[in-house]
Amino acid sequence: MRRTAVLLIGLLFAAVASAEATEAGWALLREGGQVVLLVHANAPGTGDPANFELGNCHTQRNLSERGRQQARKLGALIAARAEPVEKVYASRYCRTLDTAKIAFGPGLVEELPALDPVEREPELAEKCHQIVLDMIRNYSGSGNLVLVTHRENVAAWTGVKPREAEAVIVAPEGDSLKAIGRIVFN
């Protein structure tokens, strides 16, 4: 009984901390000029099938109905609670492109190969990281910039282990990215 009470108290504190972090994230997005690493919405499974082809959505993991609902919800919330989104870049994978297009409309979305899943080849992974880091360093818009990518990229670039459809607001810090805010949508 005591163990259950301690567990429940721990979960309550975690929920409160998550809500506070989310509100701090919204405050940053209301200021504008922020860069958001957005993890694609729900796409069941892990990895991609053996017959994977980058341009063929029938060979990839795709958004579930829940994922499409998440994308609609996060797009509506960002439109209502933040400065406008100035530009959206997405990985070339269907689940990231679909998340971006459903949330922000296809007109704002541009593919960016550097946002594809982190490569196991260290030199290529470093090159992609550098492209993203340079893009973030050079961003000076008044609206927010959204980069829709994969969970493993956000973890590798920031040390944060995000949930599906989570927004991690980042700033450059030396040769890495620092998470300065988070928004959990689900």
Neighbours of 23 (CB within 10 A): 11
pTM, to two decimals:
0.88
DSSP-based three-state secondary structure for 9: helix
User: pLDDT value at position 64?
Assistant: 97
pLDDT tens sequence across 63-118: 999 999 999 999 999 999 999 999 999 999 999 999 999 999 999 999 999 999 98
pLDDT of residue 21 exceeding 90, the answer is no
Q: Tell me phi and psi for residue 63, to 5 degrees.
A: -60, 140
| Domain boundaries, position 136 | 2-184
Asked if residue 143 lies in contact with residue 124, where contact means CB atoms within 8 angstroms, the answer is: no
> Considering its fold, how many domains does the chain have in total?
1
What whole-number distance in Å separates Cα of residue 22 and Cα of residue 91?
A: 24
Round the average pLDDT of the chain to a whole number and report it: 88
CATH number at residue 95: 3.40.50.1240
What whole-number distance in Å separates Cα of residue 130 and Cα of residue 143?
A: 23
pLDDT tens sequence across 149-180: 999 999 999 999 999 999 999 999 998 999 99
User: pLDDT value at position 4?
Assistant: 56
What whole-number distance in Å separates Cα of residue 166 and Cα of residue 168?
A: 7
